[in-house]
Structure 1
Amino acid sequence: MTISYTYDVATESYFGFFKVLFRWKGSVWKLIHRELFMWLVLYYTVLAIYRTLDEERKKIFRSNIEHFINFEPSILTFMLSFFVTTIVQRWNNVFTNMGFIENAAYAVSSFMKNGEDVRRAQRTVIRYLVASQILVMRSISIKALRRFPNYESIVTAGFLTKEESTIIQNTDLSYDSSCVPIRWAIQVLRHQYRSGNFFSHSVYRATWKEVSDFETHLSRVRKVDWVPIPLAYPQVIFFAVRLYFVICAFAKQYFDLDDDDARYVIHYYFPIVTVFQFICLMGWLKVAEALLNPLGEDDDDFEVNFLIDSNIYTGMLIIETSKPPPLKPDLFEDRNFGPIYPNNITDQSVGQALCGSVENIKLAGKDASIEVKKNGENNPPA
C-alpha cells in the first residue's frame, strides 16, 4: 500500500520534519534496519577479534587494510544517482500508464443518446475495459494475481460472465488475452454507432480514441514489466554498495587503542560517521530496490486492487449520473455574493493569488495624461 504523509508536511514548521522522520511504515528505517544490524554485528565482531590480537598480528592486519582506509564512496554516489534516476523514471511511467477509467467513461456517457439499450451498452463497455485491465494486472502484479488466481474468480467478481470467460479461454492467444475484452468494447461501440446512437461520427471517433488510449496505457505498463532494466545493471549496484560496507567493517576500525585520549572519542565505541554513510547510501539503494517493481507487495507499491475497484465503480457511476439535474438560478448571479468562508478561517492569500509581481505598482493615475514621442533610429528602445 502507498504510505501517505502529505498532510504532515502541508505546512512548514520547526517540528513538521520530525512527523515524517520518525514514522516507521514505509520509512528508510524499516528498509535498512536488518542490514544495519547485520553490519554492526560484523563491525563489532571484527573489532573484538582485532583487540585480542598481539602486536605483531595487529600490524599485519593494519598493513592488509591500509589501502582501503582512505577509500571514499564517491563512485558509489555517482552510480547510485544514475540508477535511482532510471528507476524513478520507470516508476513514474508505470503509475501514469496503469489505466484510469474516467476519460473513457466520460466519453462513453456523454456522446451517446439516452435509452435502456444504450445504457446497457455503456455499462458493458466499462466492464470490458476493467476486465481487460484485470487480465493485464494479474499477469504483472502479484497482488492482482492473488485476488484473481483464475478466470472463475473474475467471473465470481462480476467482471466477466461465464460465457465471456469461456470464449477468452478457448481463444488461441498464447501471448495476450487482454485484447479480447478491448475488442469486444470496440465492437459494442461500433454497433451503437451503426444503430444511430452516437450524436455524430466525430464523437464516435473521440469515444473510440479514449478506449484505444486506455488499451495503450495498459500495453505500456505490460511492456515495462516485460522488458526490465538489464540484470547486470542492478547486480553491479547492489554488489558494489554491499561490498563497500563489508570493507568498511574492517577499514573503519579505530586502531589507536594505546592512546589514553582515544577513550573520550565517540568513534572509539561507535562508528558514527560510517553508520551515517550506511543510512544514506544503503537507504538510497533500498529505495531503488523498493521502486524497481512498484507492482509488488512493499509498503509503497501501487494499490492495484483498489484501482480496479475504483475504475469499475467510478465508471458505472459516471454512466448512471450522466443526466444532470434541472437547471436553476444560482447564488453567483448576484455579483455581490461571496466569497464565503467559515468564521474560524481567515485566508491570508485572498486577493494575492495569481497576481503579477508589479501589478499593484502605480506609475500613473487612472486618468493621467502620458507624454509620448516617436522612437527613432537613434533612440532605440530600452
Structure 2
Amino acid sequence: MTVSYTLKVANAKFGGFSKLLFRWKGSIYKLLYREFLVFCLLYGFISFLYRCVLNNEQQEVFERLARHCNKFAKLIPMSFVLGFYVTQAFQRWWGQYTSFPLPDNLMMVVTGNVHGTDERGRLLRRTLMRYANLSSVLILRSISTRVRKRFPALEDIVEAGFMTADELKKLNHLYSDFNKYWMPLAWFANLASQARKEGRVKDDIALRLLMDELNNYRAKCSMLFHYDWISIPLVYTQVVTVAVYSFFMFCLIGRQFVKPEKPDEDKIHLDLYIPIFTLLEFFFYAGWLKVGELIINPFGEDDDDFETNQLIDRNIQVSMLAVDDMHQNLPLLEKDKYWVDKGLSYPSATMKPVFMGSTHDMRYNDRLPLFIFGTQIKIFLIKSKNFLTLHTQQHNSQISSKIPFVLQRLTKVLWVWNDMWLSN
C-alpha cells in the first residue's frame, strides 16, 4: 500500500522530518540494505587482504593502485548523471499519475444528461459507466502487475461484474493485432447515440458534452498505454547504472586506508577500519539510483507504487452511486443558516486580520504638502531654464549659458528626492 506521511509534516517544527527517518516500510533502507551490506563486506574483505595477507612488496603495488583508482574515480560526473536521470524519472512518474483515468467528470455528465428514473434509464446510465470502467480495467490489466494478478484471464473480469458473457464474446469476436481496451468506449459512444434517439438525452449539446468527456477519458487510457510502451531510452538507464556501479567498484580499492606515499612526521596519518564518508557517499548515490528505479514504473508491487486495484474498486463504486442511487435523489430545499445572517460564525479567538492588499493602509496626507511644494519648485525651475536657454541663444553669453545646465541638474535632484520621499 502507498506509504503516506502527510499528517506527520502538516506543521513545520523542530526536527519534523527526523520522525520519518525511523520508518521501514517504503524507506530507502528497505530498498538499499542488500547492496549496502554487499559493499561493506567487499570493502572489509579487500581491507583484510591488504593488511593481513599481502607482503610488503605487494602492499606497495596495492597502494599505488589505490591512489590511481581514487584519483580517476573523481572524474565520473555522478551528481550530473544521477540528478538529470532522477528528474526525468520523476516527471514521468507524475505524468503517469495524472494520466490515470478517473470517471468523476464523466459520471457527472452522465447523471445530469441521461434522464429517466425508470428501469430503462437506470440501465442506460449504469451500462455507460460500466463500459467506461471496463475500459480502464482492460488498460490497467495490460500495464499493472497487481491488476494482472487479480484478472489473469478475461473470464475473471466477467466474474467480477465489469463485463457480461455476451460482451466477452463480442470482444473476442473482433480480431485485432493490438490492444482492444478502446472497444468498451466505442460501445459507450453508440449507446449514448441510441439514448439520444430515444429522447433520454435531450439535445445534441448534451450529447456533444458526453462525447467530449468520453474522449478525455479515452485520451488518459491511451496515455497510460503509451507510457508503458515508450520508456526512458535504455541506453541512458544503462549509462547511469554503469556509472554508479563502476564508481563504487573503484571506491572499493581507491578508498582503502593505505600508507601515505610520502610520510610526513608532522602530520598524523589516520588509519580507520570503517570508511564513514565513503559509506555515506554510497548511501546517497546508490540510494538516488534506487529512487529512479522505484519511480520509473509505478505500476508494480513496490511499497510506493500506485494502488491500482483499490482505484478500480473506488471508481466502479463511486460511478454507480452517482448515476443510479443519486440520480434525481435530491434533499429537501431549505433556507440555509446564512439566509439572513451574512457573516460567518466561529470563535473570535480564531479570527485573523483579513488581507486587503499590500497598499490598503498606504497614507498620503503627511506627504501631500511636500509633494505639492516640490512639484511647484520643479515647474518654476523648468520655466526658468527654458527662459534662460532662449536668452543664451539670443545674446550668446558664456555665463548665462551655464545657468540652464545648473537648473537642469537641480531639477533632476528635486525629482529624485520627491520620488524617494513618496516611496518611503
Name the TM-score, length of structure 1 as normaliser. Answer: 0.89
Letter matched to residue 256 of structure 1: K
- TM superposition shift of 1:60: 0.5
Structure-2 change in CA distance of 1:57 and 1:333 (3 Å): same
**Structure 2 SS opposite 1:238:** helix
Percent identity between matched residues is 32
In structure 2, distance between residues paired with 1:332 and 1:187: 46
Matching of residues 157-236 of structure 1 within 5 Å: 157-236=160-239
Letter matched to residue 321 of structure 1: M
Say whether the 8 Å CA contact 2:100–2:221 is kept in structure 1: yes
2:121 is aligned with 1:121: no
Say whether the 8 Å CA contact 2:137–2:312 is kept in structure 1: yes
Q: Deviations over 1:234-289 (max 9, x none)?
A: 11111210111111111101113999999995x70211111111111111100000
2:311 is aligned with 1:307: yes
Structure with more relative contact order (C-alpha pairs < 8 Å, separation 6 or more) = 1
Say whether the 8 Å CA contact 2:76–2:247 is kept in structure 1: no
In structure 2, distance between residues paired with 1:66 and 1:321: 74
2:6 is aligned with 1:6: yes
In structure 1, distance between residues paired with 2:160 and 2:90: 33
In structure 1, distance between residues paired with 2:40 and 2:267: 20
The answer for the alignment partner of 2:19 in structure 1 is 19
**Structure 1 SS opposite 2:68:** coil
Structure-2 change in CA distance of 1:172 and 1:85 (3 Å): same
Structure-2 change in CA distance of 1:262 and 1:131 (3 Å): farther
2:326 is aligned with 1:321: yes
**Structure 1 SS opposite 2:304:** coil
Answer with 193-202 or 203-212: which moved more: 193-202
**Structure 2 SS opposite 1:357:** coil
How many corresponding residue pairs? 371
Say whether the 8 Å CA contact 1:262–1:268 is kept in structure 2: no
- TM superposition shift of 1:46: 0.5
RMSD of aligned residue pairs (Cα, Å): 3.0
2:273 is aligned with 1:269: yes
Letter matched to residue 17 of structure 1: F
The answer for the alignment partner of 1:83 in structure 2 is 85
Higher-Rg structure is 2
Say whether the 8 Å CA contact 2:93–2:298 is kept in structure 1: yes
- TM superposition shift of 1:65: 2.9
Say whether the 8 Å CA contact 1:97–1:221 is kept in structure 2: yes
Name the TM-score, length of structure 2 as normaliser. Answer: 0.81
Structure 1 alignment gaps of length 5 or more: none
- TM superposition shift of 1:334: 2.8
Q: Higher helix share goes to which structure?
A: 2
- TM superposition shift of 1:141: 0.8
In structure 2, distance between residues paired with 1:315 and 1:260: 79
Letter matched to residue 59 of structure 2: K
Answer with 149-158 or 316-325: which moved more: 316-325
The answer for the alignment partner of 2:389 in structure 1 is none
The answer for the alignment partner of 2:102 in structure 1 is 100
Letter matched to residue 339 of structure 2: E
Structure-2 change in CA distance of 1:187 and 1:73 (3 Å): farther
In structure 2, distance between residues paired with 1:347 and 1:253: 61
**Structure 1 SS opposite 2:130:** helix
| Equivalent residue in structure 2 for 1:237, among 237, 240, 253 | 240
**Structure 2 SS opposite 1:115:** coil
Say whether the 8 Å CA contact 1:331–1:337 is kept in structure 2: no
In structure 2, distance between residues paired with 1:264 and 1:27: 37
In structure 2, distance between residues paired with 1:236 and 1:362: 59
In structure 1, distance between residues paired with 2:203 and 2:297: 43
Structure 2 alignment gaps of length 5 or more: 383-414, 420-424
Matching of residues 255-294 of structure 1 within 5 Å: 255-256=258-259, 265=270, 268-294=272-298
